[in-house]
Structure 1
Amino acid sequence: MAVGVDVKIASFCRELGDDTLEGIAREENALAAYLRARSAIQAGRVDQELEADLDALDEAVLSATGQGLFPSGSRAFQPLPGAQETGGARFWECPRGLCSGRGRVRPGQPAPSCGASGEPLKSGPLPR
């Protein structure tokens, strides 16, 4: 199954909170790709170069850990025919609309921050 660029960006942004991915990129000679990807996302630029850099980082993580950067599957909600368009579940969304967001909103949970911009994530309906 192909991984969408929004999922790739979300996977990358989650890693910006500490220096683990940057260290792996440095060890695997992919630091330039890491720095370009971080700059592109911070600038709000989503293009083929960004996706190529994210793919290079996925390969670097796979080489270093035996497991890639991106998830192997995706989750989404599709209502049954004739049912309401959205359920009651809420999902954390990217404040700039660049990535697929992350995780389900739990009652009373404070919003996590975007790893690229530092802005709080927004609560929205479960993605389709």
Structure 2
Amino acid sequence: MIRKSAILCSIIFVLLLTACGGNTSNSDSANNAAAGSNLTAEEELVITATNYSFDQPEYHLKKGVPVKIIFENESGNHGILIPEMKLRLDAKNASQVVLPEEAGTFEMTCAIMCGSGHSGMTAKIIVE
């Protein structure tokens, strides 16, 4: 009886791993859709991070204009995350061309847990 239970648990475990692996691939392809397209940047925006702050409290972009966002890390270990724009940059992936299609104000946060000031490390992306 114990042997049958062990086999059943093993089969369920393998099925769960297979399901999780397939979901990750779909997520990656969705996140890379903008990066995979042949957008040519008309503008460039450099965002610089230091310990617990970005170099500006807000950044302005134009709606419908492709922009290359470049992340520079001056001190500490940081990244940027803007979920509404499907953008995450860090030391390994330091730039990406995005096309802001929706006007509004979007919150940018640090994407890497960087210490005691991490929760206050925010800025605004304003698409006009």
Common fold: TM-score over 0.5: no
Q: Which has the larger radius of gyration?
A: 2
| Higher RCO, Cα 8 Å, sep 6+ | 1
Could you state the TM-score of these two structures normalised by the residue count of structure 2? 0.23
* Higher-strand-fraction structure: 2
Structure (1/2) with the larger helix percentage: 1
